[in-house]
Structure 1
């Protein structure tokens, strides 16, 4: 990790504008970012382990971060992926720790926030508290969907979903920079099984592999492999988004 850089940055302000708190009063933004520091992590770095009380509340400027849980025998399973404009470890901030950890999927830059400042604002700003509560509820539903895949989905479905979530857009197309071992860790499987799954996807033309690079050639085809319940889930997400928009409209009125 690079040395700390005090105060907000242009990148932090841009990330805030993409976050679920972008509609908050500027004084909330300024209070949090003024008490923050900028940090960067290389791909593959363990950012923190909240199960040991080491949680990192951060606003992501760039890159991708994986939230994961680890079993007693060392196996890992990903609960969600986080990208620019999203916050890490909000539940851990409220409970002073959580049974999870954060790892950098790609090189990333974040604003590390002061949890004491954040907690103080939540105690004194009802509008902020409500918005964070709604966000945490939505995140819970998202995590449940991910766990459903990990518990009941086939390896093929889990690999396909993780490839879609890990992909970053480049001038040459959608790219996943990961090897088979890292992907196996992400879905809680083993390298040999993941290798067979990737070969099948490559044979169908959904992906193309080159060393540590996996190019998504046909996102729609890969999505069809990702979940047999994709249609149902998309409908559920659409209903949820419509309900939230209606709630926000009612609140503003």
Structure 2
């Protein structure tokens, strides 16, 4: 693996350049990354279970799902993270969080040292501000997922999840999973998900092949996933003729 002059991997530097911290001073970047370790996780791996077992990880490649699991095993997705995202910042600041992290696809990350991160934040106001903005944006994303889970239909939740999980390949957008995993991910049951998948397949939005789901029409699938009432209201207002004073 290629190394930076400070011993930092090229993959870590590339991921950092895509993160919300890319504009920070090189000294902060080098201090954090030099005190990190590169780890890989196969698809489906439970990275951490939440509470005090958390991972502050800068994602080099792959997609990670943050989820909350109920006492009876049901799961709710709170957000997804991909290249350049940094996981578990709330847990780092509060010494634990209820969400677990799972590798949706094969992932490579730099696991950052939370003690080093906290020390740098205490000494740098601009770093603190950027983390605060990032946490605010993350909160909005989480609220959007909760909106889906509370008010969205199974088809809406399933469509959004498929779009989030999709990996680009030479043959198109591919989701490698099964109905049971999908049901767990959106807080439903296998039989209901099977019916929703059939409806999506009948419309031509997706094509199923055992554990593979190919997204044939991303735009159509996105229309099924949309639960943003503001977007719908804006669309309705654009589609109506403008009022005239005459």
| TM-score strictly above 0.5 | yes
Query: Does 2:53 correspond to 1:54?
Result: yes
Counterpart in 1 of 2:238? none
Give the Å deviation of 1:49.
1.1
CA distance in 1, matches of 2:232, 2:162: 18
Question: What whole-Å deviation, never above 9, does each CA across 1:141-166 have from its counterpart, x for those lacking one?
Answer: 11001100001100000000101111
Counterpart in 2 of 1:80? 79
Give the gaps of 5 or more residues in structure 2.
1-5, 235-246
CA distance in 1, matches of 2:229, 2:20: 25
Q: How does 1:54-133 map to 2 (within 5 A)?
A: 54-133=53-132
Give the Å deviation of 1:7.
5.1
Give the Å deviation of 1:231.
6.1
Query: Does 2:212 correspond to 1:213?
Result: yes
Give the Å deviation of 1:168.
1.2
Counterpart in 2 of 1:3? none
Counterpart in 1 of 2:39? 39
CA distance in 2, matches of 1:32, 1:178: 34
CA distance in 1, matches of 2:131, 2:233: 24
Counterpart in 2 of 1:159? 158
Larger Rg: 2
Give the Å deviation of 1:172.
1.0
RMSD: 1.6
CA distance in 2, matches of 1:80, 1:57: 15
Give the Å deviation of 1:227.
1.8
CA distance in 2, matches of 1:228, 1:20: 27
Counterpart in 1 of 2:196? 197
Q: Is the 8 Å Cα contact of residues 7 and 37 (structure 1) preserved in structure 2? A: no
State the aligned residue count: 229
CA distance in 2, matches of 1:217, 1:174: 8
Give the Å deviation of 1:177.
1.1
CA distance in 1, matches of 2:232, 2:40: 34
CA distance in 2, matches of 1:166, 1:160: 10
Q: Secondary structure at 2:110's aligned position in 1?
A: strand
CA distance in 2, matches of 1:74, 1:7: 42
Q: Is the 8 Å Cα contact of residues 184 and 190 (structure 1) preserved in structure 2? A: yes
Question: What whole-Å deviation, never above 9, does each CA across 1:18-53 have from its counterpart, x for those lacking one?
Answer: 1011111111100000000000011111000112x1
Q: Is the 8 Å Cα contact of residues 148 and 227 (structure 2) preserved in structure 1? A: no
Taking a change above 3 Å as real, the CA distance of residues 164 and 127 of structure 1, as seen in their structure-2 partners, is: same
Runs of 4 or more, structure 1, over 6 Å off, are none
TM-score calculated relative to the size of structure 2: 0.90
TM-score calculated relative to the size of structure 1: 0.88
Q: Per residue, is there more helix in 1 or in 2? A: 1
Taking a change above 3 Å as real, the CA distance of residues 185 and 7 of structure 1, as seen in their structure-2 partners, is: farther
Give the Å deviation of 1:8.
2.3
Taking a change above 3 Å as real, the CA distance of residues 207 and 160 of structure 1, as seen in their structure-2 partners, is: same
Taking a change above 3 Å as real, the CA distance of residues 83 and 234 of structure 1, as seen in their structure-2 partners, is: farther
